[in-house]
Amino acid sequence: MIRVEGLTKTFITGRGAQRTVVQAVRGVSFTAPDGAITALLGPNGAGKTTTLRMISTLVKPDSGTAMVGDADVVRDEQKVRAELGVLSDARGLYTRLTARENIRYYGELRGLGGDDLEARISSLANLLEFEPLLERRTEGFSTGEKLKVSLARALVHDPKHVLLDEPTNGLDVVSARALRRMLLKLKESGKCLVFSSHVMQEVEALCERVVVVAKGQTMHEGTVAELKARTGKDSLEDAFVELAFGQGV
Amino acid sequence: MRQLLTVLKKEVLDAVRDRRVWLVVLVTSLVSGPLMLLLMSKLLSDLKSKAEAREVLVDNAKAAPKLVNFFERQGRVVKPPPSGVRESIEAGRFDDAVLTIPEGFEDDVAHGKLVNVTVLHDRNRAQSATAAHTLERLVNGWSQEVGMQRLLVRGVDPALLRSVRTTVVTIGASRSGAAGVLVPLVALISAVIGALAIAIDVTAGERERGSLEPLLMNPVSAWALVLGKWAAVVLASLVTLTGTVTSFSIAGQFVRDATMSAAFQFGLNEAGYTLALLGPFCLLVSSILMLAALFARGHKEAQATTSYLVSLVSIAPSLSLFLSLQDSTWQLFVPVMGQNMLLSRMFRGSPVTAVDVLIPAAVCVVLTSLALFAQTRLLQREAIVFARG
């Protein structure tokens, strides 16, 4: 389970006259239970990515807490990292290494090795449907192929908690569907999944729980049905627009 | 420690598959020795052949038959200069010097006047300067001969004019020369060049690819990452340096010419000494290049920032040459200068103490630690981790 309470983060860029203060996150709270997919739904710049980065320990929150399992993101940084699998917005692979070598590198950094690791890599490739690519260098891989390798890399240690930042961005229909199947399989195996998105159909098809984030704050937390009921709208998109931007948009 | 080795293993594998890295390492180490030898042998043999050349260029030779006769008695062949000497000099294509005799030269000398002759040469070209020097010496020789004859005619012993005779005794000079300047410079630069490509790839390259952020999400300490990457860069730097030094000593075995082998004495001892002296320098260069490149968001930007460092390394040795800096202890504390000074000393055959070697090594270790520490801090900065090229 991932619990987030009152997270805030302000970024300051530049100095002197160029100094700008951006309040990226002003109070995001939600709970993502195990065995479920929780969506962070919000417009661009709502603070979704920053929230995910705080959960993954790369950004220190100014205030508030986030717990991954029973580990605190500030106090138990390494433990949180060990329990998390993250598919971030940055999905760079090492192009001179093969897909297997890319995944193996992360596995070894996490203390895995030997036949167990190799078997794990093969089974992930099977699960994510990219076995033929496994021994090829990742140079020239398509967006979908890169995503699959990045995801396998994030899941190599079989993490209990998985964060995905707009995973279907730039994917074609076939790859997006494959990814969704994969997420559902992970959910069924009891994992806690949090993923950010602004694609309504995707959220509706995958997620039990929706957290609407806008202007750096949590505007709603609940099931898709609750969201619709609260706003009195029939479609998720209408309900989302009303919550995120207010009436009359 | 295990994580450090994992990072090292990955970076080495990545670098070994990078053709650019190989090319630099191979070209630098394979080419530098023979190239150096070629340059030096060309320089030396040209100088030597010029010095032994029998031909001297004299303009308007017919105005000075006695001078020409003196030249010929010295075993020289007097020739008229080619046309357009000034233009050739201005274009930097003239490797000789021309003596110009004014009209009425012989008469003026006979009447005991002080006569001006001019020697034209290109001071930017070593061979031209040597030729000019030869001409000057020849003219002075004749001038002295004429002067002595005048004294003898007046019944004065020419020996009275000289009260002191100087005999120059040269010590250790046979081992200095061009090698003392060129070899340290090339060795220092090879250490930098070998490290450069990998240092950029493991820092700015990670940022550009967008692989730094996911990498940092692994439960790995910043120290393990930085040290693992650094070890890979140091390895590349050392391999290139070793290759270069080996190339030097192999090239040194082929030297037959006496003048050359005196100037280019580079055997196993010299190779070992160079490696021992520059090993710590490789540690420093690798860490500094990584630090500089970590601020860059991509390869291009990193190349721009690191190019300052590369030029600094190539300028420092020439600096001490141009400022004619004397060997002094403070130089040992300045990276590049200290190494350069000690390597030059080796070529001069001057003694080097253990302290001389330990001071620059200690400076390198201290600065390296600081640079590595700075990187572990930078990897926790949002501006470094998330801003991509």
For residue B389, pLDDT beyond 70: no
Residues B119 and B229 placed together within one structural domain of the fold: no
Residues B197 and B335 placed together within one structural domain of the fold: yes
In a domain, B143, yes or no: yes
Give pLDDT tens digits for B355-382.
Answer: 888 999 999 999 999 999 999 999 988 8
Residues B199 and B250 placed together within one structural domain of the fold: yes
- What confidence score (pLDDT) does residue B388 get? 60
C-alpha span between B323 and B300 (Å, rounded): 34
> Beta strand pairing status for A20-32 and A71-72?
unpaired
**Residue that is last in its domain, among B95, B128, B161:** B161
Say which residues have a Cβ less than 8 Å from residue B135's Cβ, sequence separation at least 6.
B56, B97, B99, B119
- What confidence score (pLDDT) does residue B174 get? 44
Tell me the shortest Cα–Cα distance from B92 to chain A, in angstroms: 48
ipTM: 0.91
Give pLDDT tens digits for B32-82.
Answer: 777 777 776 766 666 666 556 678 889 888 888 888 888 888 888 888 888
C-alpha span between A221 and A233 (Å, rounded): 16
Q: What is the CATH number of the domain that holds B87?
A: 3.40.190
Tell me the shortest Cα–Cα distance from A82 to chain B, in angstroms: 6
Residues B178 and B278 placed together within one structural domain of the fold: yes
Structure tokens at A205: 């098809």
- Which residue matches tokens 């010590």? B171
Chain B residues whose beta carbon lies within 8 Å of the beta carbon of residue A53: 386
Give pLDDT tens digits for A180-219.
Answer: 888 898 999 999 999 998 888 888 888 888 999 988 889 8
C-alpha span between B229 and B286 (Å, rounded): 10
In a domain, B167, yes or no: no
- Please name every residue paired with A32 in a beta bridge, in sequence order, or none if there are none: A2
> Beta strand pairing status for B55-59 and A217-223?
unpaired
CATH architecture classification, A2-89+162-245: 3-Layer(aba) Sandwich (3.40)
Interaxial angle between packed helices A99-109 and B2-16, expressed in degrees from 0 to 180 and rounded to the nearest 10: 160
Average pLDDT for residues B313-324, to the nearest whole number?
A: 75
Give pLDDT tens digits for A99-114.
Answer: 999 999 999 999 998 9
Q: pLDDT band at A75, cuts 50/70/90?
A: very high
pTM above 0.80, yes or no: no
For residue A33, pLDDT beyond 90: yes
C-alpha span between B131 and B81 (Å, rounded): 13
In a domain, B156, yes or no: yes
Structure tokens at B363: 């400076």
Cα dist. A48→A27, A166, A231, B322, B376 in Å?
A: 12, 9, 22, 60, 27
Tell me the shortest Cα–Cα distance from B310 to chain A, in angstroms: 27
Give pLDDT tens digits for A4-25.
Answer: 999 999 988 777 888 888 888 9
- Which residue matches tokens 């993502």? A32
Domain count, chain B: 2
Residues B357 and B225 placed together within one structural domain of the fold: yes
Q: A97–B206: do the CB atoms touch at under 8 Å?
A: no
In a domain, B48, yes or no: no
Q: B209–A95: do the CB atoms touch at under 8 Å?
A: yes
> Beta strand pairing status for A161-165 and A84-87?
parallel
Residues B141 and B185 placed together within one structural domain of the fold: no
Mean pLDDT of chain B: 84
* Residues of the domain holding B114: 53-161
Q: B219–A82: do the CB atoms touch at under 8 Å?
A: yes
- What confidence score (pLDDT) does residue B31 get? 78
Cα dist. A121→A100, B10, B98, B120, B211 in Å?
A: 7, 17, 79, 78, 19
> Strand, helix or coil at A24?
strand
Residues B94 and B8 placed together within one structural domain of the fold: no
For residue A81, pLDDT beyond 90: yes
Average pLDDT for residues B104-133, to the nearest whole number?
A: 86
- What confidence score (pLDDT) does residue A247 get? 59
Q: What angle do CA B301, B305, B308 make, to 5 degrees?
A: 145
Chain B residues whose beta carbon lies within 8 Å of the beta carbon of residue A162: none
Q: A110–B17: do the CB atoms touch at under 8 Å?
A: no
Beta-carbon count within 10 A of A141 CB: 18
C-alpha span between B196 and B290 (Å, rounded): 8
Q: Which residues of B206-220 are buried (b: 16+ CB within 10 A; e: fewer)?
A: bbbbbbbbbbbbbbb
Q: Tell the burial category of B23 from Cβ atoms under 10 Å away from its Cβ (0-12, 13-18, 19+).
A: exposed
Q: A92–B206: do the CB atoms touch at under 8 Å?
A: yes
In a domain, B150, yes or no: yes
**Residue that is last in its domain, among B132, B161, B190:** B161
Average pLDDT for residues A52-68, to the nearest whole number?
A: 93
B82 φ, ψ (degrees, to nearest 5): -70, 165
Chain A residues whose beta carbon lies within 8 Å of the beta carbon of residue B3: 109
Q: A97–B3: do the CB atoms touch at under 8 Å?
A: no
- Which residue matches tokens 């910043």? B222
Give pLDDT tens digits for A133-183.
Answer: 999 999 999 988 999 999 999 999 999 999 999 888 877 888 888 888 888
Residues B26 and B65 placed together within one structural domain of the fold: no
Residues B78 and B201 placed together within one structural domain of the fold: no
- Which residue matches tokens 């001057």? B350
Q: Sign (positive/negative) of CA torsion B320, B325, B326, B329?
A: negative
Give pLDDT tens digits for A112-129.
Answer: 989 999 999 999 998 888
Interface test with B, best of A11, A53, A96 (most B CBs within 10 A): A96
Say which residues have a Cβ less than 8 Å from residue B32's Cβ, sequence separation at least 6.
B186, B190, B244, B247, B248
Q: B217–A82: do the CB atoms touch at under 8 Å?
A: no
Residues B206 and B307 placed together within one structural domain of the fold: yes
Residues B234 and B97 placed together within one structural domain of the fold: no
* Lowest-confidence pick of A98-102, B125-129, B220-224, B241-245: B125-129
Cα dist. B332→B287, B313, B329, B359, B362 in Å?
A: 20, 15, 5, 6, 10
Chain B residues whose beta carbon lies within 8 Å of the beta carbon of residue A59: 382
Residues B157 and B12 placed together within one structural domain of the fold: no
* Lowest-confidence pick of A105-119, B69-83, B170-184, B207-221: B170-184
Q: Domain map of chain A by residue range?
A: 2-89+162-245
Give pLDDT tens digits for B7-28.
Answer: 999 999 998 898 887 888 788 7
